[in-house]
């Protein structure tokens, strides 16, 4: 249907040039993160005279990168597990119990997607104080449960409708409890949408800045975005170390993306109703 | 097998008639066990704070003292009459939203058309255009702060192009466009993915038939392709409207609202009002106004999408 013509070749060249333009910012960050401060000031575009890895070593210590990485990881993993468990269970039950109540609850979740984070954040900090959720990683994870549940539940709700009910019914007759039916039979069938839910929530929670900023004050609890921003606040315009900090900050998520890009792009496209 | 099932269902029926009441209670409990946790977290984290916010917007709460004095509409009146900072941030955000939505959808749709051609490097290009989207706005803003301050300066020295010699983040006008550029750089790849999915759904036979009838590429695009994928445009435009209107991360790390608060988004304004000046009552009033505007956008989006679905 589509032959490779001269016109396609021209388009191809154009596409590659555009891609290079898209990548230029990364080129600047990488080469300059390996230079001394003086060398950056002389010429920001030039190739480094020699590769200086000392910037990375210094930043690694200053922002305590292993700690920040671990905090980001544990927050993302725990929030994902919780969101998958609570929203898949709720979505399944809501679909399988067709009643007015189920419908109202579902609409209640969806309607709240309209509420922007900024409208909730100020009183939430008061509630967080009362319930002892502030300055603690489990507390932040619980908040992510609350913020993530509408979209996750919405995606599961749509998917459960496509799962045939017959398998569940026969398992019920064989005496399986509802929990048994759900975890042993239904949940494995939900795998494709679970992948989408986990990818969307991971990209959101890993990169999130404002909620951790409000909840986590202690230095030891900082996530990667928090550690990077407090580094920039302290070392303004010290680009040699600043760029190394940025490289450290973006590398994990870029590796995550390159490994799972097919799933991620598919998940992003199907989750775009948000 | 069949007889076994029958006997089982018969016993089931017998049990049902004996303890129907117990069964109902059990059903209610299971329902609660499945739906309850999601509902509980959602209500505690989002719904209760939302209604508290509505209440606090009528008070002079400062976040510290345990009592919040009822002040009626005073906060709202103050915002409209006596808060040029908020009005400016609203104007900036609206202006930014228009520019950002048009540019990122234009680029995103263009990239999708390009990658819809039979290019050999298609998958690689798609990956490249999408990469900025997986990096958080905060880090992106810092990266581009360097590009605007140092990177553009060195390109300007090399090429002598006036574009790269502008005082980008130091001037109100160019700082505005700086944020638009970074937003478009982050979001275009995302829009591209949605547009590609829509383009792949277009019936090739239809295009072939039109080509045989002598339709030019431009006619194909404007008369067939775009009308067919209008739902994708609705999704993308409203997604970008909502993202642009809520902009915070990129804004705070790229310009931090400067120069002279000229690029301060509504989200930053609310954040500062509450957490830097400790005027929680005023902050919540602003956040309620913010909610109303976002809610209007989103409702229009849902209605528009619904209408299209009926037509299609």
Q: For residue range B179-237, list pLDDT tens digits in order.
A: 999 999 999 999 999 999 899 888 888 888 988 888 888 888 888 888 888 888 888 88
A113 part of a folded domain: yes
Tell me if A63 sits within 8 A of A132, measured CB to CB.
no
pLDDT over threshold 70, residue B18:
no
How many whole angstroms separate alpha carbon A226 and alpha carbon A68? Answer: 8
Closest by Cα among A66, A56, A53, A21 to A247: A56
Average pLDDT over residues A121-147: 95
What is the reported pLDDT for B13? 61
What is the reported pLDDT for A1? 44
pLDDT tens digits, residue range A88-120? 999 999 999 999 999 999 999 988 888 999 999
Least confident of A76-85, A127-136, A258-267: A258-267
What is the reported pLDDT for B310? 46
How many whole angstroms separate alpha carbon A143 and alpha carbon B44? Answer: 9
A173 part of a folded domain: yes
Beta bridge partners, B70, equal: B59
Please say whether the dihedral angle defined by the alpha carbons of residues B20, B24, B30 and B33, taken in this order, is positive or negative. negative
What is the reported pLDDT for B204? 86
Domains of chain B: total: 1
Residues of B in contact with A26 (CB under 8 A): 131
Mutate: best of A15, A126, A132, partner B, most B CBs <10 A: A15
Interchain CB distance below 8 Å, A44 and B150: yes
- C-alpha pair distances (Å), A24 with each of B46, B137, B162: 40, 18, 19
> Rg (Cα) of chain A, in Å, rounded?
24
A159 part of a folded domain: yes
Helix (H, G, I), strand (E, B) or coil at A212: helix
B127 part of a folded domain: yes
User: Maximum Cα–Cα distance for chain A, whole Å?
Assistant: 77
Average pLDDT over residues A221-242: 90
Average pLDDT, chain B: 88
Tell me if B100 sits within 8 A of B244, measured CB to CB.
yes
DSSP state of A190: T
Most confident of B17-21, B275-279, B296-300: B275-279
| Chain B residues 66-105 with CB within 8 Å of chain A | none
What is the reported pLDDT for B15? 57
Q: Is some CB atom of chain B closer than 8 A to the CB atom of A13?
A: no
A244 part of a folded domain: yes
Average pLDDT over residues A125-150: 95
How many whole angstroms separate alpha carbon B248 and alpha carbon B267? Answer: 6
Residues in chain A: 274
Residue in chain A closest to B44 (alpha carbons) equals A146
Task: Name the phi and psi angles at B238, rounded to 5.
Answer: -75, -30
Q: Which two tokens stand for residue A228?
A: 């990077």
Interchain CB distance below 8 Å, A268 and B118: no
Mutate: best of A21, A23, A120, partner B, most B CBs <10 A: A120
Tell me if A90 sits within 8 A of B35, measured CB to CB.
yes
Residues of A in contact with B154 (CB under 8 A): 43-46
How many whole angstroms separate alpha carbon A63 and alpha carbon A6? Answer: 52
Q: Is some CB atom of chain A closer than 8 A to the CB atom of B26?
A: no
- Name the pLDDT band for A212 (thresholds 50, 70, 90): very high
Residue-range definition of the domain harbouring residue B280: 84-311
Domains of chain A: total: 1
A18 part of a folded domain: no
What is the reported pLDDT for B312? 39
What is the reported pLDDT for A272? 64
CB neighbour class for A46 (10 Å; exposed up to 12, middle 13-18, buried from 19): middle
Residue in chain A closest to B53 (alpha carbons) equals A123
B6 part of a folded domain: no
Residue-range definition of the domain harbouring residue A218: 57-270
Element (H, E) at A270: helix A239-270
Q: Which two tokens stand for residue A32?
A: 């300059």
Q: What residue has token string 């069949």?
A: B2
pLDDT tens digits, residue range B255-284? 998 888 899 999 999 999 999 998 999 999
A24 part of a folded domain: no
Least confident of A43-47, A178-182, B117-121: A43-47
| Chain B residues 176-205 with CB within 8 Å of chain A | 185, 190, 193-194, 196-197, 204
Q: Is some CB atom of chain A closer than 8 A to the CB atom of B164?
A: no
What is the reported pLDDT for A114? 86
Of all residues in chain B, the percent with pLDDT exceeding 90 is: 51
Average pLDDT over residues B129-148: 93
- C-alpha pair distances (Å), A113 with each of A148, A152, A266, B290: 10, 11, 22, 14
What is the reported pLDDT for B9? 63
Q: What is the CATH number of the domain that holds B169?
A: 1.10.3720.10
The neighbour count for residue A6, using CB atoms within 10 Å, is 7
Return the axis-axis angle of helices B280-311 and A117-130, rounded to nearest 10°.
130
SS (H, E, C) chain B: CHHHHHHHHHHHHHHHHHCHHHHHHHHHHHHHHHHHHHHHHHHHHHHHHHHHHHHHCCECCCCCCCCCCECCCHHHHHHHHHCHHHHHHHHHHHHHHHHHHHHHHHHHHHHHHHHHCCCCCHHHHHHHHHHHHHCCHHHHHHHHHHHHHHHHHHHHHHHCCHHHHCCHHHCHHHHHHHHHHHHHHHHHHHHHHHHHHHHHCCCHHHHHHHHHCCCCHHHHHHHHHHHHCHHHHHHHHHHHHHHHHCCCHHHHHHCCCCCCCCCCCHHHHHHHHHHCCCCHHHHHHHHHHHHHHHHHHHHHHHHHHHHHHHHC
B254 part of a folded domain: yes
How many whole angstroms separate alpha carbon A265 and alpha carbon A257? Answer: 9
Q: Is some CB atom of chain B closer than 8 A to the CB atom of A32?
A: yes
Residues of A in contact with B146 (CB under 8 A): 28-29, 32, 239, 242-243, 246
Q: What is the CATH number of the domain that holds A201?
A: 1.10.3720.10
Average pLDDT over residues A30-47: 87
Average pLDDT over residues A261-268: 84
Beta bridge partners, B59, equal: B70
Average pLDDT, chain A: 91
pLDDT over threshold 90, residue A171:
no
- Name the pLDDT band for A80 (thresholds 50, 70, 90): very high
Average pLDDT over residues B7-15: 61
- C-alpha pair distances (Å), B125 with each of A12, A23, B181: 10, 11, 20
What is the reported pLDDT for B11? 63
């Amino acid at each position: 249907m589509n032959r490779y013509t001269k016109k396609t070749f021209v388009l191809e060249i154009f596409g590659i040039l555009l891609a290079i333009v898209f990548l230029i910012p990364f080129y600047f960050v990488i080469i300059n993160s390996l230079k001394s401060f003086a060398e950056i000031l002389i010429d920001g575009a030039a190739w480094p005279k020699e590769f200086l890895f000392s910037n990375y070593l210094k930043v690694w210590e200053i922002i305590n990168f292993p700690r920040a990485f671990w905090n980001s990881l544990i927050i993302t993993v725990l929030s994902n597990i919780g969101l998958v468990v609570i929203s898949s269970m709720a979505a399944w039950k809501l679909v399988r119990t067709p009643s007015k109540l189920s419908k109202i609850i579902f609409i209640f979740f969806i309607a709240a997607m309209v509420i922007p984070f900024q409208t909730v954040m100020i009183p939430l900090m008061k509630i967080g104080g009362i319930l002892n959720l502030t300055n603690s990683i489990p507390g932040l994870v619980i908040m992510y449960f609350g913020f993530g549940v509408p979209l996750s539940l919405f995606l599961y709700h749509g998917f459960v409708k496509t799962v045939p009910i017959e398998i569940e019914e026969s398992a019920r007759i064989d005496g399986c409890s509802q929990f048994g039916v759900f975890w042993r039979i239904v949940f494995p069938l939900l795998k494709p949408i679970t992948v989408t839910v986990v990818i969307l929530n991971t990209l959101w929670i890993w990169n999130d800045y404002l909620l951790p900023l409000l909840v986590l004050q202690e230095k030891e609890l900082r996530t990667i975005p928090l550690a990077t921003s407090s580094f920039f606040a302290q070392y303004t315009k010290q680009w040699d170390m600043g760029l190394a900090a940025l490289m450290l900050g973006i590398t994990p998520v870029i590796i995550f993306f390159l490994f799972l890009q097919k799933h991620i792009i598919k998940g992003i496209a199907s989750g775009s109703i948000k | 097998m069949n007889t076994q099932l029958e006997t089982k269902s018969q016993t089931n029926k017998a049990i049902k008639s004996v303890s129907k009441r117990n069964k109902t209670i059990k059903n209610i409990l299971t329902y609660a066990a499945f739906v309850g946790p999601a509902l509980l977290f959602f209500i505690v984290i989002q719904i209760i704070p939302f209604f508290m916010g509505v209440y606090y917007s009528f008070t002079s709460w400062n976040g510290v003292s345990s009592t919040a004095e009822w002040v009626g509409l005073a906060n709202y009146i103050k915002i409209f009459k006596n808060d040029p900072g908020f009005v400016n941030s609203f104007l900036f955000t609206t202006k930014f939203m228009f520019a950002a939505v048009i540019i990122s959808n234009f680029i995103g749709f263009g990239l999708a058309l390009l990658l819809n051609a039979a290019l050999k490097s298609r998958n690689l290009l798609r990956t490249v255009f999408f990469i900025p989207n997986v990096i958080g706005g905060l880090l992106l803003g810092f990266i581009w702060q360097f590009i605007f301050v140092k990177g553009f300066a060195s390109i300007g020295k090399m090429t002598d192009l006036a574009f790269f010699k502008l005082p980008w983040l130091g001037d109100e006008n160019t700082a505005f466009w700086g944020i638009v550029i970074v937003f478009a750089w982050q979001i275009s790849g995302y829009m591209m993915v949605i547009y590609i999915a829509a383009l792949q759904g277009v019936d090739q036979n239809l295009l072939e038939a039109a080509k045989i009838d002598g339709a030019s590429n431009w006619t194909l695009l404007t008369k067939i392709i775009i009308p067919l994928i209008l739902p994708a445009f609705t999704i993308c435009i409203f997604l970008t409207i909502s993202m642009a209107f809520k902009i915070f991360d990129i804004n705070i790390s790229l310009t931090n609202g400067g120069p002279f608060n000229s690029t301060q988004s509504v989200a930053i304004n609310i954040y500062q009002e509450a957490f830097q000046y400790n005027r929680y009552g005023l902050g919540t009033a602003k956040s309620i106004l913010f909610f109303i505007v976002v809610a209007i956008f989103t409702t229009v989006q849902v209605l528009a999408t619904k209408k299209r679905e009926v037509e299609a």
